[in-house]
Amino acid sequence: MSTKAAAPAPGAETSGDTYLPDHGNGGYRVRHYDLDLDYRIGPNRLAATAVLTCEATQALSRFSLDFGEFRVGRVLVEGRAAKYLRRGLKLQVRPARPIPAGAVFRVEVRYSGNPKPVRSRWGDIGWDELTDGALVASQPVGAPSWFPCNDHPADKASYRVAVAASSPYLVVVTGNLMSRHQAASTTRWVYERAEPTAAYLMSVQIGRYDEIELAGELSSPGSGVVQRAAVPPRLRRQFIRDFGRQGRMMAALQGWFGPYPFGEYVVVVTDDELDDPIEAQGMSIFGANHVDGHRTHERLVVHELAHQWFGNSLTVADWRHIWLNEGFATYTEWLWSEESGGESTASQARGWYDHVRAEPADVAIGDPGAARMFDERVYKRGALTLHALRGEIGDAAFFAVVKAWAAQYRHAVVRTEDFVALAEKQAGRSLAEFFDRWLGKFPLPRL
């Protein structure tokens, strides 16, 4: 089973990621984050303490963290004051004593400031202000916008996140709610995320939301998963309609992919519009524009739910493998369309095949390049690859592969070669030529 990304250069301020080497760091892995946040909504002011429990993968005289533009009050390593230097989005730390290879050590960073998104080629990503509240949307590089971290998808850790905010606001964090205590005008919320989680998949949502326990058809018998929502009061009626098949959807996905990988599923609808829905660990976030009372955007609802298996539980070891996230989530849209009485999976595949074939043949989705990580063809050709594999090995073998994929790599990190090996094992023969045509070549193969 794959458990880590390719080894970075010793002590380097790089993850070794082939696409985003400036995000993530070498020399250590984070095992646990303990974040204590005090957030003032009006002035967008954050005062926080982060404690990281790390394991050195080599002897360290210094190391670095990915971190945004905050004022750092102090840095402690194993309780001792450490020297530190800010350089771009890196916090360089030199502990008072060198850290031996294999040692477990704690880093404490106290900081404050006005959180803002990280600028990237995909726009501003991370902690962002809403008209009345805040949200976190971190894929792929936004986690440093609100806490010091090792910002690489393969460095998965557990989390405890405490957030103090004004009491009229609901605070939702990726994880299980452990406590909620109101004192005067402030409420302190404490969440824990026990499952290994990439930094970009952690999220905080703050707004004037109604809490909805997804009941009746929304949590239909057989799904076996607690499902909750945070919704602006003005959108409650439309939400009930648009997410009215959520229980059926969850049950269908568990039938195709195996058990839901987390304890609960939370949906947040912001009172602002968003360009696209956002995935987080055990959570999906939608904009007000994605809720209209007519199920117009139901394909996005199932797409984000599918990411809980493919992207969140199974997380890519390197961003070049992103088709494993988006291809599976897109194919799930097609499966659900047929399951819910809409257009068949085969018809969807034929339609998107013609669409992709009309586009320039200049992307190999097994390694699309950083500039095209989120190209539509990575999504659609990724789904077409899965549909073609289904035709190549048959329905029974295909869904056996998918279930084994989700089970064998549950809460781990994955690469394309892992999926190919699993598919070949189930098929009982080499599929190297098949996957090379679909993932490694520019021209679109015959479907």
Where is the binding site for Zn(2+), in residues?
303, 307, 326
Please give the full DSSP string across 297-363, using - where no structure is assigned. THHHHHHHHHTTTBTTTBEESSGGGTHHHHHHHHHHHHHHHHHTTSS-HHHHHHHHHHHHHTS-S--
Which residue type does 338 have?
E
Collapsing DSSP to helix, strand or coil, 14 comes out as coil
Q: Smallest Cα–Cα separation from 218: which of 233, 230, 228?
A: 228
Separation between Cα atoms, residue 153 and residue 315, nearest integer Å: 7
Collapsing DSSP to helix, strand or coil, 264 comes out as strand
Q: Smallest Cα–Cα separation from 241: which of 294, 284, 289, 290?
A: 294
Which residue type does 339 have?
E
Separation between Cα atoms, residue 342 and residue 335, nearest integer Å: 10
Give the list of residues 6+ apart from residue 95 with CB closer than 8 angstroms, or none.
Answer: 60, 61, 62, 77, 78, 80, 82, 105
> 181, exposed or middle or buried, with CB in 10 Å at 0-12, 13-18, 19+?
exposed
Q: Is 39 a catalytic residue?
A: no
Catalytically annotated residue among 195, 279, 298, 304? 304
Cis ω before 140 (30° cut-off from 0): yes
Q: Is 84 a catalytic residue?
A: no
CB of 146 closer than 8 Å to CB of 46? yes
Separation between Cα atoms, residue 20 and residue 373, nearest integer Å: 11
Phi then psi for residue 128, to 5 deg, are -140, 145
Give the list of residues 6+ apart from residue 263 with CB closer than 8 angstroms, or none.
Answer: 176, 226, 282
Q: Smallest Cα–Cα separation from 352: which of 333, 372, 324?
A: 333
Per DSSP, helices labelled H in 394-429 are 395-408, 416-427
User: Is the alpha carbon torsion for 207, 209, 215, 217 positive or negative?
Assistant: negative
Query: How many Å separate Cα 2 from the centre of its chain?
Result: 18
CB of 230 closer than 8 Å to CB of 268? yes
Q: Which residues are catalytic?
A: 304, 379
